[in-house]
């Protein structure tokens, strides 16, 4: 696949992921959040396995792989989606999408603390700018009392996801990331469904009684297209152009989340949202090490030539 085709695919994946914040907001507003999230993630996981089965990429995990995948699923799926689904019931899709854009920076912090990633001055500046951007968003130009519980839960969802990325790196070299994604989704979704049965006893009956054709279309678009196909295409793109170059496209995710919230939920885009968006994008580009890695790769190519 030529690089420009990979770029086009990544661009459309970011559109899907950004709009998926709006889709998730709609779903958790119309159904009980934990129950519908468990069903949605399970549907996504089964879709991943179906697609992998068609290309003959399904296999059993080794004992070591299962241990890491199981623990990672508790953070990447159970905790992340639990906090995300509840958080979106208490904040706007605009705030949620922008705060989720912090994921690469939080992953960088954990990598510095636990796996020895160097803390350069460029990363330091990036971390400062990124967290400044989130501050503008969650405070909405007011004071600390302006922080909503929804924003706090969204931040927790991003932190737990960042922890899972560190765990995933431990096993990613032996396991196809697409297969790992499928296993994590299925394992994690089963936990979410059990939690939903405990905390939301009427969850499944509510899914049946409150459903409409439009909501089911949103559900399957979110589960099958954005979550399942989107993750598979992104993982494949990383293999084509490298993780650092692919990660730069992540910065489009908050932008399309803003667009989706404005178009479909009529949420107002305020000045602090725009300012926070640009600070987070700049922070991610500098703090995640993407710029450093791409610059070093170009230097190595020049030296090799």
What are the structural domain ranges in the chain?
A: 3-304
Q: Which residues of the chain have pLDDT under 50?
A: 1, 141-145
Q: Which of 179, 177, 157 is nearest to 77 (CA)?
A: 157
Q: What is the CA radius of gyration of the chain?
A: 19
Task: Check residue 147 and give left, alpha or beta (phi > 0: left; psi -120 to 50: alpha).
Answer: beta
Per-residue model confidence (pLDDT) at position 266: 92
**pTM to 2 decimals?**
0.85
Q: How far apart are CA 240 and CA 252, in angstroms?
A: 19
C-alpha distances in angstroms, 124 versus 44, 102, 117? Answer: 36, 14, 12
Burial 199-232 (b: 16+ CB within 10 A, else e): ebeebbebbeeeeeeebeebbeebbbbbbbbbbb
Per-residue model confidence (pLDDT) at position 190: 97
Please give the torsion angle defined by the CA atoms of residues 270, 271, 272 and 277, in that order, rounded to the nearest 10 degrees.
90
Q: Which of 204, 222, 190 is nearest to 42 (CA)?
A: 190
Contact 186, 46 (CB under 8 A): yes
Q: How far apart are CA 31 and CA 210, in angstroms?
A: 7
Q: From the CB of residue 22, how many other CB atoms can be counted at a distance below 10 Å?
A: 27
DSSP code of residue 289: S
Structure token pair of residue 217: 């279309």
């Amino acid at each position: 696949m030529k690089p420009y085709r990979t770029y086009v695919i990544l661009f459309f994946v970011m559109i899907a992921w950004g709009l998926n914040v709006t889709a998730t907001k709609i779903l958790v507003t119309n159904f009980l959040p934990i129950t519908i999230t468990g069903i949605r993630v399970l549907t996504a996981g089964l879709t991943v396995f179906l697609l992998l089965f068609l290309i003959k990429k399904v296999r059993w995990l080794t004992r070591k792989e299962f241990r890491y995948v199981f623990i990672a699923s508790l953070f990447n799926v159970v905790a992340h989606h639990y906090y995300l689904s509840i958080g979106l019931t208490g904040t706007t899709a605009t705030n949620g999408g922008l705060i989720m854009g912090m994921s690469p920076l939080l992953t960088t912090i954990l990598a510095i603390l636990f796996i020895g990633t160097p803390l350069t001055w460029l990363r330091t500046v990036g971390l400062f700018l990124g967290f400044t951007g989130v501050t503008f968003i969650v405070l909405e130009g007011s004071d600390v009392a302006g922080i909503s519980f929804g924003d706090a839960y969204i931040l927790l969802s991003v932190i737990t996801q960042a922890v899972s990325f560190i765990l995933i790196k431990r096993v990613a070299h032996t396991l196809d990331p697409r297969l790992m994604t499928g296993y994590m989704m299925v394992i994690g979704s089963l936990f979410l469904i059990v939690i939903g049965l405990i905390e939301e006893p009427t969850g499944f009956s509510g899914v049946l009684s409150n459903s409409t054709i439009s909501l089911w279309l949103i559900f399957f678009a979110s589960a099958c297209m954005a979550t399942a196909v989107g993750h598979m295409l992104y993982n494949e793109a990383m293999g084509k152009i490298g993780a650092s170059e692919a990660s730069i496209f992540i910065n489009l995710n908050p932008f399309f989340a803003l667009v989706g919230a404005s178009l479909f939920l009529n949420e107002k885009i305020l000045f602090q949202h725009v300012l926070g968006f640009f600070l987070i994008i700049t922070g991610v580009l500098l703090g995640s090490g993407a710029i450093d890695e791409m610059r070093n790769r170009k230097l190595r190519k020049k030296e090799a030539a």
